[in-house]
Structure 1
Amino acid sequence: MLFGNALQVFSYEWKKSYFKFHEAYSDLSYALEVDKGAAKAILMAVQVNIIKYFLFIRNNKKNIHLQSLYEISQKDQEKGLAAAVADILWTAGENQTATICLVTTDTYFPSSRDYKVDNFTERLQLFEFFEKEAAQKFIFDHIQCFKGEGSHGVILFLYSLLLSRTLERLQKDLDITTSHLLQFSLGNFICRQAILNIILTGQASPHVFNGFQKCNSEANTTVKHVGSMLKTPKLPIWLCNINGTYSVLFSTNRLLLSDWKMEHIFDLYFYNGQPSQKKTIHLTIDTHSHHWEENHCEEESDPEKRFPSVEMAIRTKWAGAAINWNGTAPFF
């Protein structure tokens, strides 16, 4: 289901990936540290749920101040990770079950001609839960299995995710465009869209558009347009793929997408996981002003050379919006 056969194994880059937060009580205490490796997409997708927990689950206020994300302790981080993972697994299990994988010292199946040993997968033990709260407590009690260095935490999460969804449901979710969930690219295996969609929605849809769409061979080579359902989530947090790099945009106002009046002038916050980012980027969006077009109308014709890619991504949701970086130098 992952590689297309049982003879492939995870690379060192995958095996070393785990859930590690930035320093507690810092400007990025809510955020995971993310390498450039193949597991970045999964980490950033889980980051969406972590932000959801800190802003909207543990708080009942309609509008939370960003400062609350800077006041997170190490224990809060662990609670946030446990809550996010439990919520993702429970949703994947149709709100009925969650399966959690942990590594043990025992080997449960040997190597064979059809299976290549990785000294990890064959030592997994499965724990099934029928209550979300029980799964969350179990994850919190074993949080080092996901956030400890050398824990293979991201792979454990990925296995737990697929088993919570179940192989039967996965096969129903996928279509002829996706036979397995990891794709070989530039010497490593990277996530297909289906994995990210399980994390975001609970279903392994291989596409980003709404419903069904007829595709011919020529259309398959073009950029796929994101549907309105992913653009308008229940809570204002977006996983973005900008020029092949995953990042998160979010608002602290839970009602942003519930009242069109709030979408005139509002703030968004941006985290891209790059080591160079030391604080959350604050963007102010003005959907009624079009001076950005006037200021650049005589510049280069290629929009990607005229405007930062982050701005172009935002304008796929709010066409024509003016974007103020509030003192941060825009990056392309």
Structure 2
Amino acid sequence: MSNDNPDVESKVEDKRSRERVLYARKHVLPDQKAPVAGGEPVTEALAVALRNAVFGAPAAVPVPRPEWLRTAFTFRPAERELGYGLTGGRSTVRGLLAVVQAHVVRHLLFGVPAPFANSTVMSSGMVHPYHHERLLRPTALEQQDALCVALSAILWRVGERKRCVLTVPQEESYLHPNQIYCPDGVTEKLQIFEVTSLEDLQIVIKRYLYLFQAECGPGALLLLYSAVLTRGLDKVVADMDQAQTSLIGAAEEGSACVVMLLLTGRATPYLHNGVLYVGDEEHYALPRWGVLSRGEVGLLLWDEAREDDAAQPGSRLKTPSLPVWVASGAGHFGLLFSTNRELLRNYHAERRFDLHYYSCNGSHGLLSIDTRYDCEEPREPMVEALASPIEKVILSKWQDAHITWIKSSHAV
């Protein structure tokens, strides 16, 4: 029997609101710092091997890439435009940030709980226009949840959904300066956790999320170290196939090996589908490992130095299961995504659609993509030679498409 008394209904709603607030406070906030406990301390041999594999420099000298020691996962202000966005300067960390950013957006748009999803996702698969802006303006707690899910998803795939290693620093150093190892403030303090379930991984990450988000902290390096140890040091070196001597490489915004490790679970420089065997009459054919399976997040790339077909992403990277891509235009990393879940599943959805672009330096925009080659509406032809790098990235998947910038700006 319903109660028509407005005062009673108001009190019930107030009670529900208080209960929701109490539940939200169960999350670990940045100022609630759980001390690091458990796990195994890093050894000198492991610290030296990590530094050599990642940075390619002897561990007896200081880390040559100091940006990795002071780049955390920092969001833009919550509940505002671009609240989904991570921030970061132009450095070798940018590629890693782009992969994490892609998984954050994937979760915010397409990983919502079922009751909420039923009210915001239309039968066509597109997020309702009145709600996708809300999804992309997360609260502070939603930002933390999305980051936790993103880091967990990345490491779980690197670990082939079987086991993962997570590294976090504690207060004291386990190693001291000597002729073999020069401290960097992070590596010698690592506590190493090994987990065998996704649930346990999420619990540990949530407990120590503040270490990944600490201002000017080493959050990005902690993720990379975790991914390397999850994959295995020997396997990471073998994955690179002598294409480069260290995982970071010399690229200004990070190497393809870092991006591929976090996207596909292999630190391979090759972007093609499957395995190719390359050899000649004088040499045995050797395998080049590319992308073995399709993921939820893809990769689109354009670079004058990689215009040959062999250096382009294969269909498994170009066509992920969800419309979210890490985008690399002329070596600059960003993110492209659509709010329509069905974009890559429905031919008609790809005839005309919008794409959002975001880069951690604050560049963002909305682009209209028209692939209707037989369109009767008059339009100026797209001159590819004059297109911007991000437009060329889009054309690498949707050839001959007409691209219009609806809006473009740069956040402060």
Alignment of 1:77-226 (within 5 A): 77-184=143-250, 191-210=254-273, 211-212=275-276, 214=278, 222-223=306-307, 224-226=311-313
Using the alignment, how far apart are the partners of 1:266 and 1:227 within structure 2? 22
Q: Is the 8 A contact 1:290 1:322 kept in 2?
A: no
C-alpha offsets along residues 112-154 of structure 1, whole Å, 9 cap, x if unaligned? 3232221321111101111111211221221110011132111
Which position in structure 2 is the counterpart of 1:30? 84
Q: Give the 3 Å change call, closer, same or farther, for CA 185–308 of structure 1 in structure 2.
A: closer
Shift of residue 74, structure 1, vs aligned partner: 0.4
Using the alignment, how far apart are the partners of 2:54 and 2:395 within structure 1? 34
1:295 aligns with 2:365: no
Shift of residue 39, structure 1, vs aligned partner: 1.0
Bigger Rg, structure 1 or 2: 2
Which position in structure 1 is the counterpart of 2:367? 283
Shift of residue 103, structure 1, vs aligned partner: 0.8
Using the alignment, how far apart are the partners of 2:266 and 2:396 within structure 1? 24
Using the alignment, how far apart are the partners of 2:185 and 2:378 within structure 1? 56
Using the alignment, how far apart are the partners of 2:261 and 2:317 within structure 1? 13
C-alpha offsets along residues 161-201 of structure 1, whole Å, 9 cap, x if unaligned? 11111224324433132332122467xxx532111011111
Q: Give the 3 Å change call, closer, same or farther, for CA 176–293 of structure 1 in structure 2.
A: farther
Using the alignment, how far apart are the partners of 1:195 and 1:215 within structure 2? 26
Q: Give the 3 Å change call, closer, same or farther, for CA 10–100 of structure 1 in structure 2.
A: farther
Q: Give the 3 Å change call, closer, same or farther, for CA 282–50 of structure 1 in structure 2.
A: same
Shift of residue 310, structure 1, vs aligned partner: 1.9
Q: Give the 3 Å change call, closer, same or farther, for CA 145–14 of structure 1 in structure 2.
A: same
1:52 aligns with 2:106: yes
Q: What count of residue pairs does the alignment treat as equivalent?
A: 315
Q: Give the 3 Å change call, closer, same or farther, for CA 173–142 of structure 1 in structure 2.
A: same
Which position in structure 2 is the counterpart of 1:3? 55
Query: Aligned match of 2:405 in 321, 325, 330?
Result: 325
Question: Superposition RMSD on alpha carbons, in Å?
Answer: 2.6
Q: Gaps (5+ residues) in structure 1? A: none
Give the aligned residue type for 1:204: A
Q: Is the 8 A contact 1:27 1:69 kept in 2?
A: no
1:236 aligns with 2:323: yes
Using the alignment, how far apart are the partners of 2:338 and 2:216 within structure 1? 34
1:273 aligns with 2:273: no
Q: Is the 8 A contact 2:168 2:222 kept in 1?
A: yes
Q: Give the 3 Å change call, closer, same or farther, for CA 180–293 of structure 1 in structure 2.
A: farther
Query: Aligned match of 1:313 in 388, 393, 397?
Result: 393
Q: Is the 8 A contact 1:82 1:137 kept in 2?
A: no
Q: Is the 8 A contact 1:29 1:69 kept in 2?
A: no
Quick one: percent identity of the two aligned structures?
A: 29
Q: Is the 8 A contact 1:16 1:151 kept in 2?
A: yes
Give TM-score, length-normalised by structure 2.
0.70
Alignment of 1:243-282 (within 5 A): 243-275=330-362, 277=363, 280-282=364-366
Q: Gaps (5+ residues) in structure 2? A: 1-52, 281-304
Higher mean C-alpha displacement, 236-245 vs 253-262: 253-262
Q: Give the 3 Å change call, closer, same or farther, for CA 222–32 of structure 1 in structure 2.
A: closer
C-alpha offsets along residues 52-99 of structure 1, whole Å, 9 cap, x if unaligned? 111112255432243133431001101110110011111111101121
Give TM-score, length-normalised by structure 1.
0.86
Shift of residue 293, structure 1, vs aligned partner: 11
